[in-house]
Structure 1
């Protein structure tokens, strides 16, 4: 079998590439070369640019990452995954999972190729679900749950005391608060971006309005009386 030479496509049967990211979001492109070494055997080689992966510098030839042996077109039960090293000077390693690789007559190709790493991303939005979970979206396509909004219930919600600005205070009649997550127990659901219906105490607000009106009328009468006194003083002259 001719040793694999990434610079010579004639030495490999098939090649593909994948993208991986390190912990700091740096991107690397890994080239994989498949060389058929037997009727049911393939050697897989890896390169990052001009740098061989999992290579022993003591050997003159490029060392394979792994050798795949097939039975009836499939890899026998097991986990054909491996750790790949040598991608950079920082000893960055990643796991390469070749589960699902098959060998059948026909042209070689990729059916499914994925990776679970992400490059650097900036926050692009925040969403709050009915269950209170706060989900952050990033420009690299990643989403992450960063927290949850909690709710509290009361044995007697009607016993709460309004204190203004849509706020209510605990009272002996309401009982102590019972914390919990939305959609659990007696807790309701959250609706992001919704406007709460008014919870103004109309009776109290009418009393306040009448009080203000009476104060205005009293002040107006005082000004009117003062004006009449001034007019009388002017007439006396």
Structure 2
């Protein structure tokens, strides 16, 4: 799935004071089987709603189940509209928890998200358990992989090759590869130096702030010293 948004429109037509028809339609360009007579929308389902004189939902009916075949090979969507709990067949006491028939202005908002739009990778991080998590521009995140760790029976037997690289030897024993924090292996601290337990990026920022503060203080002392020299010169 490409994560593209789809729109399902509902229309209501009054048949009598207490009876309404409902029709569900989608843009015809979004589906693979529109009718030749369709202009902008294709109807994909219809039914009826019956209300009490008090505006409560008494009964509901689905004449044509909503099944939508989208364009570009997307999965078929089967939609079961929920207009609320009706009094007749679902045993609602009030019939007021969903669609109602009141003579006044109203606004209906129903937002449901079951996916994400297309996005690009904007950031990555490594969790203590070794999961490489990617953050995408559409607000989603996903585990892209996992960092493996190796343990040895004798760490001191490894051969140092330089640049933080070590090689397995007969003295070190065979490597035992697995996930972090398993089998006696340690956890991963992202953005930290070897054998360090702090965030390297954060510490660099703190160091720069301290340096700037120190520079400002030294200039203050220098200015104060110059003012004292000028004062002594005036007295002389």
Count of equivalent residues = 169
2:12 aligns to what?
A: 35
Q: Could you tell me the TM-score, scaled by structure 2's length?
A: 0.52
RMSD of Structure 2 on Structure 1 (CA): 4.4
The match for 2:126 is 128
Which of the two has higher C-alpha Rg? 1
Whole-Å separation in 2 of the counterparts to 1:149 and 1:46: 48
Please say if residues 132 and 190 of structure 1, whose CA atoms lie closer than 8 Å, have aligned partners that are also in contact: yes
Query: How far 1:127 moved relative to its partner?
Result: 1.2
The Cα of 1:197 is off from its aligned counterpart by 3.7
Alignment partner for residue 167 of structure 1, among 165, 168, 187?
165
Equivalents in 2 of 1:123, 1:74: separation in Å?
A: 50
Quote how far apart the aligned CAs of 1:122 are: 2.1
- Secondary structure of 1:158's partner? helix
1:45 to 8, 21, 24: 24
Q: How does 1:144-155 map to 2 (within 5 A)?
A: 144-155=142-153
What are the equivalent positions in structure 2 for 1:155-194 lying under 5 Å apart? 155-194=153-192
CA drift at 1:92: 4.5
Judge which range, 34-43 or 175-184, deviates more.
34-43
Gaps of 5+ in 1: 1-21, 199-237
Q: Distance in 2 between matches of 1:113 and 1:192?
A: 35
CA–CA distance in structure 2, aligned partners of residues 83 and 44 of structure 1: 13
CA–CA distance in 2 between the matches of 1:145 and 1:74? 48
CA change 1:122–1:63 in 2 (3 A) is: closer
The equivalent of 1:115 in structure 2 is 114
CA distance in 2, matches of 1:74, 1:135: 50
Cα 1:33–1:111 shift into 2, 3 Å: closer
Mapped partners of 2:172, 2:49: distance in 1: 71
How many Å separate the matches in 1 of 2:175 and 2:31? Answer: 62
The change in CA–CA distance for 1:91 and 1:126 in structure 2 (over 3 A counts) is closer
Distance 2:145 2:126 in 1: 10
In structure 2, what is the equivalent of residue 65 of structure 1? 45
The C-alpha deviation readout for 1:105-133, integer Å capped at 9, x for no partner, is: 365623442231423x2221111111111
Distance 1:197 1:109, change over 3 A: same
Which residue of structure 2 lines up, in the alignment, with residue 6 of structure 1? none
Partners of 1:36 and 1:104 in 2: how far apart?
Answer: 14
Task: Give the TM-score, by structure 1 length.
Answer: 0.52
- Provide the rounded CA distance (Å) in 2 between the counterparts of 1:142 and 1:152: 31
Question: Which runs of no fewer than 5 residues in structure 2 stay unpaired?
Answer: 51-55, 85-97, 197-236
